[in-house]
A and B are shown apart, each in its own frame.
Chain A
Amino acid sequence: MNLSLTINGVRRDVELADPRVTLLDLLRERLQLTGTKKGCDRGQCGACTVLVDGRRINSCMALAVSLDGAEVLTIEGVARGDQLHPVQAAFIAHDGLQCGFCTPGQIMSAIGLIQEGQAGNDPERVREGMSGNLCRCGAYAGITDAVLEAQEVLATSDRRRSA
Chain B
Amino acid sequence: MKNFDYVRPTTISDAVAAAAEPGAAYLASGTNLLDLMKGGITRPDRLVDVTRLPGLDRIEWLPHGGVRIGAMVRNADLAHDADFARAFPAVAEALLSGASAQLRNAATVGGNLLQRTRCGYFYDVASACNKREPGAGCAARDGENRLHAVLGWSEACIATHPSDFCVPLVALNATVEIEGKNGRREIALEALHRLPGAAPEREHALEPGDLIVAVRLPAEARTFSAHARYLKVRERTSYAFAVVSAAAGLRIEDGAILEARIALGGVAAKPWRAHGAEEMLTSCRPGPEAFRAAAKAALTDAKPSGDNAFKIELAQRIIVRALTLAAAGTPQRISALPASPFSSVSGALHVA
Contact = CB atoms under 8 A, between A and B. Distances in A.
B337 A124 contact: yes
B229 to A, nearest CB: 17
Interface string B153-180: 0000000000000000000000000000
A124 B30 contact: no
A58 B101 CA distance: 10
A162 B324 CA distance: 46
**Highest count of chain A CB atoms <10 Å: which of B5, B38, B100:** B100
A128 B344 contact: no
Contacts, number: 104
A57 B38 contact: no
Interface residues of A, number: 35
A65 B27 CA distance: 12
Interface residues of B, number: 37
A20 B3 contact: yes
Interface stretch (A5-13, A26-34, A80-88, A109-117): A109-117
Interface in B62-112: 76, 80, 99-103, 105-106
A62 interface: yes
A145 B120 CA distance: 36
**Highest count of chain B CB atoms <10 Å: which of A1, A20, A22:** A20
Interface stretch (A42-50, A96-104, A151-159): A42-50
Interface of B: 1, 3-6, 8, 27, 29-31, 34-35, 38, 47, 49, 51, 76, 80, 99-103, 105-106, 237-239, 336-338, 344, 346-350
7 contacts: A42-B35, A65-B6, A112-B105, A113-B101, A124-B348, A131-B101, A132-B100
Interface of A: 1, 18-20, 22, 41-43, 46, 49, 55-58, 61-63, 65-66, 109, 112-113, 116, 118, 122-125, 127-133
